Amino acid sequence: FRGDPNKWPGPAWHVLGPTLLSVAAFLPVYFAAYRLTGIRSLLCMLVMAGIGYALMPFNSFANAYTIYAVGFAAMLGGSLWIRLAWAAAMLAGLLFEIIALQYPVFVFLITLIVSVAVFFGNHHFAESTRKRAELKLSHDEIRRLAALAEGERSRSDRQDVLGDTLSLVASTWKLTGKM
């Protein structure tokens, strides 16, 4: 973004080298973030944002790492407000760096729009997954209770049949005793 926008801002390795290193650092963290929970997941999210901040002086498209980090903020545990605070803090860090590097503010605005969309998309996905799991547990409990009720009903039916049979035998016994 510095200088002539139609000219590459320096030697290709000036941009490509750090970008390739950032990808090599990012991918293990990205995949680990899916498997980890709690503080470890939070650390993965912060490392993703840190990779983006470190790469930003070399590659103005490093904001993509911030978008990934904000997306993972939505998947953290805790209240929505805490997760939004983490997202806002990472976006504020990006804004500070964009201003310090004298990049156009529209880079931040585009990142903000995409980050908010990704955050709430991931939040909706996480909430839907949680609610589906709760629903499955309640369905399993309903099935268990239905099987228990069916067993009780079956035992009650057998007792009724036994009671009817014994009443019939007693009535027959009384009748045969009177003859």
Which of 36-40, 163-167, 174-178 has the highest average model confidence (pLDDT)?
36-40
Q: What is the predicted pLDDT for the residue at 1?
A: 46
Q: 77 pLDDT exceeds 90?
A: no
Question: What mean pLDDT is predicted for residues 64-93?
Answer: 94
With contact defined as beta carbons under 8 Å apart, do 9 and 103 qualify?
no
Q: What is the predicted pLDDT for the residue at 47?
A: 96
Q: Residue 70 burial (CB < 10 Å; 0-12/13-18/19+)?
A: buried
Q: Which positions ≥6 away from 8 have C-beta within 8 Å?
A: 15
Structure tokens at 42: 């939070």
Share of the chain above pLDDT 90, in %: 48
Which of 44-48, 76-80, 142-146 has the highest average model confidence (pLDDT)?
44-48
Q: What is the predicted pLDDT for the residue at 132?
A: 85
For 154, phi then psi, to 5°, come to: -65, -45
pTM: 0.69
